[in-house]
Amino acid sequence: MEVSNVGVVGAGQMGSGIAHVFAIAGYDVLLTDISADALANAVALIDKNLTRQVSREKISQEGKDAAIARIRTTTTLSDLGPCDLIIEAATERETVKQAIFEDLLPHIKPETILTSNTSSISITRLASRTDRPEKFMGFHFMNPVPVMQLVELIRGIATDEPTYRTLLGVVEKLGKTAASAEDFPAFIVNRILMPMINEAVYTLYEGVGSVKSIDESLKLGANHPMGPLELADFIGLDTCLAIMNVLHDGLADTKYRPCPLLTKYVEAGWLGRKTQRGFYDYRGDVPVPTR
């Protein structure tokens, strides 16, 4: 199937990044959210990030102007009806995602491909709640989307070959690299990454090291560009906890039990950078460890 019109559901950090890369690649993008303010903020962020790319000579000013012109916004989900491909990038809660797809179904074309940017939820289960499980896939971008090169493609048990091949072609047109993953909890990247972050939180919880010493150890001792606790703050501690719960519930293995300290931070509303406090306090000029 030829894809030219793309709908993106959710104008948060991931949704805005996805809209950005599709517009740059020449796709017409319709970005939707229940919040008009979120849509305005997303367009402003895309404009800012495109301007940065112009300043670094990654794209031309004409390329930036053309990309911005390809992005439209709406607060009405049914407006996505004519889209060839729809990417759901809403909050990481299965009930929310299911409700979005159920609301979309009466309005979309029979050939429209549905995808979810979920980082951990079962694609097979999400697909089964739609009228087209064979045209449903996981389309998991990494954060920040304009910078990160990987896209995980996750086939549900019913996903057909033409849908998979179409999305492989889309990823190639975006200038990114596809990694094909089977539909098991957290797929590839988060199946490996989140237990590492969770273990770093346990290391902090048990007093083996401080926030600073844990992050410095992994940066300087394992050549990681960012320490695991700093990375957790960047991802969002609520997202980290949600993925660990998916792993723990889906695989029934105690090695995936979320650290109680991670749960406590989420209960406190200390979710990382987005709330200005997590394992670091970001309210000053320089991030300060909170433990």
Which residues are catalytically annotated?
Answer: 119, 140, 152, 190
User: What are 19's two structure tokens?
Assistant: 């809209």
CB neighbourhood size of 76 (10 A): 10
Q: Is 209 annotated as a binding residue?
A: no
Q: Is 15 annotated as a binding residue?
A: yes
3-state secondary structure (DSSP) of residue 226: coil
User: What are 231's two structure tokens?
Assistant: 């990375």
Q: Is 11 annotated as a binding residue?
A: yes
Q: Is 196 annotated as a binding residue?
A: no
Q: Is 58 annotated as a binding residue?
A: no
Q: Is 274 annotated as a binding residue?
A: yes
Q: Is 276 annotated as a binding residue?
A: no
Q: Is 267 annotated as a binding residue?
A: no
Contact assessment for residue 104 and residue 82, using Cβ atoms and an 8 Å cutoff: no
Element (H, E) at 7: strand 5-9
Contact assessment for residue 79 and residue 6, using Cβ atoms and an 8 Å cutoff: no
Dihedral (Cα; 25, 26, 30, 35), 10-degree rounding: 40
Q: Is 33 annotated as a binding residue?
A: yes
**Strand ranges of the sheet holding 5-9, from the earlier edge strand across to the other edge:** 71-74, 28-32, 5-9, 85-88, 113-116, 136-141, 150-155, 177-181
Could you give the residue ranges of the DSSP H alpha helices within 61-210?
A: 61-69, 94-104, 123-128, 161-173, 189-205
Annotated binding site for NAD(+): 10-15, 33, 92, 97, 119, 143, 274
Q: Please state the residue numbers annotated as binding site.
A: 10-15, 33, 92, 97, 119, 143, 274
